[in-house]
Every structure is written in structure tokens, then in C-alpha cells.
Amino acid sequence: MTLDQINEKFRYKTTSSMTVERENQILLDTLEEFAGAGGWYLDLTNMEFNALGNKSYDIYGIPRGSEVGYQQFLYEFVYLEDQALIEQIRLRLIGGESPISWNHRIIKQDTGEIRMLSSLVYRVENENNELTGLRGITMYAQS
């Protein structure tokens, strides 16, 4: 996508009625579209992905707004031969290593196509330094 196409797609005027959340979502969508990367957050208290950026839905081939749990992601989205790698990385992050970057394959849910992704994940801790989640960025790997 060219800069002109991005500008046209995400052009908007800030108004006094626009919420900060809406402005932030527009900024996130613009950044994701420009970078070709999708952001996400895995809440470790319920093992659910939330705060998925729109590009994440596109990358994985799922409808926007879909709820995805970690088990569903691991066993339905991740290519079988890469599932152990993903689980090892999750355990390394829980063990304190952060950030971690790696490549893995997925099965795009809308087409069945196998795609190679690059991911970068950080630990998210609360004010007591307790691990609460994992925040990541995922994009198609460069060939």
C-alpha cells in the first residue's frame, strides 16, 4: 500500500466529539496498515487474546471482532510442526525472558494457506512486577 493510499484510507478530521479511544484506534490502524504488522495482547489470567489490531485479524484470516483463546490459536492457527515452538516461547516469556523474536508458520483461517510470520513479544507486568500478559507484534516474514 502506498502512502497516498494510506492517507486516503485513514484521512479523518479530529472533532471535539471524537473520543481519545477512537483517535488512538485510528492511529493504531494507520500504523498497522503502513507497517503490515498486527498488534495483540494475550491476557494470562484468562488465556484470551484481546486488543487485537485490525491487521491481526487480516493476517490470521479471521473476522474482525472474533474472540480467540490461546488453545484455539495454538491448535487451529499454528502449523502443527510449529506448535511446540510456540509453547516453548510462551514458557520462556513466563520464565522471565523478554523480548523474544521468532518466525513460525500459521494456517490462514479464511483460505487454508500456510504463511510464515515473524513475531516479537514482550512481557507485560503490573505495578508489583507480576506478569499479567504478553504483548506482541506479528507480520508476514520477508521471503
Q: Which fold has domain 17-140?
A: Beta-Lactamase (3.30.450)
Tell me the average pLDDT across 57-61.
Answer: 94
Query: In the chain, where are the structural domains located?
Result: 17-140
Residue 13 pLDDT grade (very low, low, confident, very high; cuts 50, 70, 90): very low
Pair 81, 87: CB distance under 8 Å: no
Q: Which of 58, 74, 75, 57 is nearest to 66 (CA)?
A: 57
**How high is the mean pLDDT of the chain?**
86
Q: Compute the Cα dihedral for 59, 6, 119, 129 and give only its sign.
A: negative
Does residue 94 carry a pLDDT above 70? yes
Candidates 121, 123, 109, 114; CA nearest to 141 is: 114
